[in-house]
């Protein structure tokens, strides 16, 4: 079982992802801001970080960089649907360059998400 931190400023997204991950038998921790995520990691270290890119207090790029620098063993997954005025763009490619090992463009299917969680936790795909 892995401990997975979900970071997104939209609680419905967190709830949906949390249900999928816990259904796989993993423990989840959640944060609605990047700063909150850093506090969580300091008190309860995680194995996998799933983070949105566009958030109000600190963007996911900065969070990814901090995790890569301070917690290099944490697997990083970036998710994003973009920003309303620019829904397409290289924002997920930038996240990869900053250290996210996997990226998913919202909306994504449960199967896609579960496959990536399996890869990040080192378990065999359930599909």
Give the pLDDT score at 57: 87
DSSP state of 31: E
> Among the CATH numbers 1.20.1270.360, 3.40.50.2300, 3.10.450.50, 3.20.20.70, which is that of 3-121?
3.40.50.2300
Domain ranges of the chain: 3-121
| Beta carbons within 8 Å of 61's beta carbon, 6+ residues apart | 53, 94, 95, 98
Strand partners, 7: 31, 51
- Which of 54, 53, 1 lies closest to 28 in space, CA to CA? 1
Mapped onto helix, strand or coil, the DSSP state of residue 20 is helix
- Which of 74, 39, 75 lies closest to 58 in space, CA to CA? 39
Mean pLDDT of successive 10-residue segments in the chain (127 residues)? 96 96 97 97 98 92 97 96 62 90 94 97 78
């Amino acid at each position: 079982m892995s401990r997975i931190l979900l970071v997104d400023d939209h609680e419905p997204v967190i709830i949906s992802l949390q249900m999928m991950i816990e259904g796989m038998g993993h423990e989840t921790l959640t944060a609605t801001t990047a700063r909150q995520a850093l506090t969580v990691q300091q008190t309860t270290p995680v194995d996998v970080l799933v983070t949105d890119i566009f958030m109000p207090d600190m963007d996911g790029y900065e969070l990814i960089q901090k995790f890569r620098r301070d917690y290099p063993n944490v697997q990083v997954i970036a998710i994003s649907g973009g920003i309303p005025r620019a829904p397409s763009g290289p924002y997920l490619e930038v996240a990869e360059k900053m250290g996210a090992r996997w990226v998913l463009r919202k909306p994504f299917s449960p199967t896609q998400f579960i496959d990536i969680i399996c890869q990040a936790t080192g378990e065999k795909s359930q599909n």
